[in-house]
Chain A
Amino acid sequence: MASIKLENVTKRFGKTTAVAGLNLEIKNGEFFCVLGPPGAGKTTLLRLIVGLERPEEGKIIIGGEEVNDLHPSKRDISMIFQNLALYPDKTVFDNIAFPLRQQKEERAKIRERVEAVARQLKIDWLLEKLPSQLSGGERQRVAIGRAIVRQPEAYLMDEPLSNLDALLRLEMRVSLKELQTSLKETFVYVTHDQVEALSMGDRIAIMNAGVLQQVDEPGAIYRYPNNMFVATILGNPPMNFLKCAASDGNKELLVKHESFTLTVKGDEVRTALGGAVKEGGVILGVRPEDVKIHLEKPNGREPGGRVNGGLVDAEIYVTEPLGNETIVDIKIGSNVIKVLAESDFAGAPGRRVWIGLNEHKLHFFDLETHACAYHASERDAIELWGG
């Protein structure tokens, strides 16, 4: 069991920078997910930790010891590759026993250890078979068995489930998570599937183009994404973005869309959005589950002046009934946003509707950099005015 630390690590391949100035700390016993699109640098990150690549700059520290010059075989880390790389001419027993035989363990001890691991993974009845005789899920478990048999400091996994069909992937996800909980070991798990990262990780690192975007617990990243890239990668359907103008009035800040205006009060948020005001605009982010559709016209004016009780005039663009819920695409001005609604949602395309936004779950992103300038919460006095 060990913590893994990367200090200012950079890795280049010719002119391409695969990983740039990476600073990361993975805690002892953590299930740590690395999420990003293809080419983000995730596999390079794993290969740097295990020692198959040397960084051009920076340090890799495992269990407190700097390992840059330590050969992979001496780093005591197990890696499970995407294609499993099982030895095709060896039985399941011999595949799992291999690392122990490499370490010149005693025969009796090897037998005991291999059988214990096989029992744990429920493949003890397959020990005499060859990989070609096994199903995808069984091969998967043999690869895991081979990795855990020598009880390394940490386990690295590179998209280990991506070749499995949907049902098997689900079962393996659950059993991998159960395994990690019972072993209490450090797992570093790379994936491009946001559902996997959200469901398995104690913490997630989001990467894009070699740069670390954010590291935190899944719930925290979901609720407080650092930038538009992170906001898009977690959540399905992803967050909606609306380009708005931003200006400073006397008593409040104004965020204006073609179809609505947000009034924003409070010193903290006005300071945070100062940059947006200077640039004259901001990108408003709101998740599909934080928008509500009203099919009936609301009653007139609120006390205090908001027409339609602070709802926005809009139109149904298209509906997507998924069975357990409906995604409703709503046209607001010249934008189309996605909203999650009930499975029995009754509106048809072209119908006029009124939209409410959860003012406590809005996000404001910088027009140019796309970094998040402010996340709204219950403490904020933000009001939506239609029209």
Chain B
Amino acid sequence: MAKIVLDHLVKRFGKQTAVKDLCLEIEDRQFVAILGPSGCGKTTTMNMISGLLKPDAGKVFFDGKEMNDVPPGQRGVGFVFQNYAVFTNMTVYENIAFGLKIRHRPPEEIDREVNEVTRLLQIRQLLSFNASKLSINDMQKVALARSMVTKPKIFLLDEPLSNLDAALRNIMRAELKKIQQELGQTTIYVTHDQVEAMSLSDRIAVMNFAVLQQYGSPHEVYNRPKNLFVANFIGSPTINFMEGSFGSGAFTLKDFTRGKIPLSKQAMHAAGQKLTSQEVVIGVRPEHLKIMDRGSEGAGFQGEEDGGSPSGLLAKVVSSEPLGSKTIVYLHPDANPGVILKSSMGSDYRPAIGEMKELTFKEKNLYVFDKKSTELAARF
């Protein structure tokens, strides 16, 4: 178990800066995901924590002790790599025992530890198998067992589930979470998959272009994303963005013929505080953007003060995705067929393609972003 502190870490490769001035604190026993698209700096960050890379500036601390000059083998870190790197010339038992064997632990201790960890991961029946004969899913468990058995203070996992098929990925995600909760190891999990990050983590560090964008709980990054990038990256289907302007007590959305949505006094005040200009980007998540027949009761934008007024925000149905548990409907705003909006509706909802619907959503579900700075200006 260990508390990890990253203090102004910088890493460059030639002229490229892979990690820019990263400051991060990971508490003992926490599961933290480093999440971002390819090239954002997440693997480089993990490699600096493990010691495989030396930072160009800044320091790495484990429990207050500076680790920059400590080689990876002595940092007490357990790895699981994306391609598992299981030793194919050894049995499962030998693979898992390896870390303890090279540390010269007595055979009875090795035996006890290997049996315990394989019982936990439910692969005890595979112990005598040659590792090359395993299914990819079992290989993943062996890779996990191999690093768990040395009881590292810190677990580093680099996209460990990406090679598994969808059904198994779902199952292993839950198993991984359970194991970490039981063992309590401080765990850092690198991924580009926001579903994994959301489902597994206590906190998520979202990175883009070498810079930390936001560090918060799944709830925080989903409901209070710091900027457009985070808002768009987290959540599936992705958040809807509608550009517009702020003024005269309302937002006017430019992609709609009648795009004015009047705001409550509190909302106006809150929005006015942080906005640096009149130009805004309004975000609404698909599960909050409902569609109704034009002029029907309850349709339209719902401010805090009244029950709802026809917003006049019309959009044309382009396609729908019946996903079983819900239906995602794709629409174009009536004045801009170049924009796609997504609405998450019930599983039996079947709209007619080409039909004009009225967008229905509440003021409290709006995310207001400052268009210039891309930062979140208000949530009501």
Contacts and interface: CB of A to CB of B under 8 A. Distances in A.
Given A174-B340, A318-B178, A338-B174, A235 B325 contact: yes
A235 B167 CA distance: 10
A173 B235 CA distance: 19
Contact of B174 (A222, A336, A343): A336
Contact of A320 (B174, B181, B320): B174
Most chain B Cβ neighbours within 10 Å, of A178, A236, A318, A329: A318
A349 B325 contact: no
Nearest to B222: A323
B236 to A, nearest CB: 8
Contacts of B285: 323-324
11 contacts: A170-B237, A171-B340, A174-B330, A174-B340, A222-B322, A232-B167, A235-B323, A322-B199, A324-B344, A338-B170, A338-B174
A199 B320 contact: yes
Contact of B167 (A171, A173, A238): A238
B287 A321 contact: no
Contact of B235 (A232, A287, A323, A329): A323
B325 A340 contact: yes
Contact of B198 (A174, A235, A318, A320): A320
Interface string A364-387: 000000000000000000000000
A329 B174 contact: yes
Interface in A219-233: 219, 222, 232
A317 interface: yes
Interface residues of B, number: 39
Contacts of A340: 325
A218 B165 contact: no
A237 B178 CA distance: 18
A321 B286 contact: no
A327 interface: yes
B195 interface: yes
A89 B274 CA distance: 52
A238 B170 contact: yes
B238 interface: yes
Residue among B167, B325, B328, B353 with the highest chain A CB neighbour number at 10 A: B325
Contacts, number: 95
A181 B316 CA distance: 15
Interface in B177-193: 177-178, 181
B324 A287 contact: yes
A198 interface: yes
A320 B177 CA distance: 9
Contact of A198 (B234, B237, B321, B330): B321
A178 B170 contact: no
Contacts of B321: 195, 198-199
B324 A234 contact: yes
B195 A322 contact: yes
3 nearest A-B pairs in the assembled complex, by CB-CB distance: A199-B321, A320-B199, A323-B222
B219 interface: yes
A287 B324 CA distance: 9
A320 B200 CA distance: 6
B318 interface: yes
A319 B302 CA distance: 32
Contact of B318 (A37, A174, A222, A325): A174
A217 to B, nearest CB: 10
B319 interface: yes
Contacts of B325: 235, 287-289, 340
Nearest to B173: A320
A123 B234 CA distance: 31
Contacts of B200: 320
A167 B325 CA distance: 22
A369 B178 CA distance: 32
Interface in A248-306: 287-289
A170 B342 CA distance: 11
A325 B166 CA distance: 19
Interface string B219-259: 10011000000000011111000000000000000000000
A178 B174 contact: no
Given A174-B340, A199-B328, A236-B170, A321 B178 contact: no
Most chain A beta carbons < 10 A, residue from B285, B323, B324 = B324
B88 interface: no
A31 to B, nearest CB: 11
Given A321-B199, A324-B344, A340-B325, 17 more contacts: A173-B319, A174-B340, A177-B319, A178-B319, A199-B319, A235-B324, A236-B166, A318-B177, A320-B174, A320-B177, A321-B218, A323-B223, A324-B236, A324-B286, A324-B287, A329-B174, A338-B170
A140 B73 CA distance: 47
B118 to A, nearest CB: 18
A195 B200 CA distance: 23
A178 B318 contact: yes
B373 interface: no
B329 to A, nearest CB: 10
Interface in A171-204: 171, 173-174, 177-178, 181, 194-195, 198-199
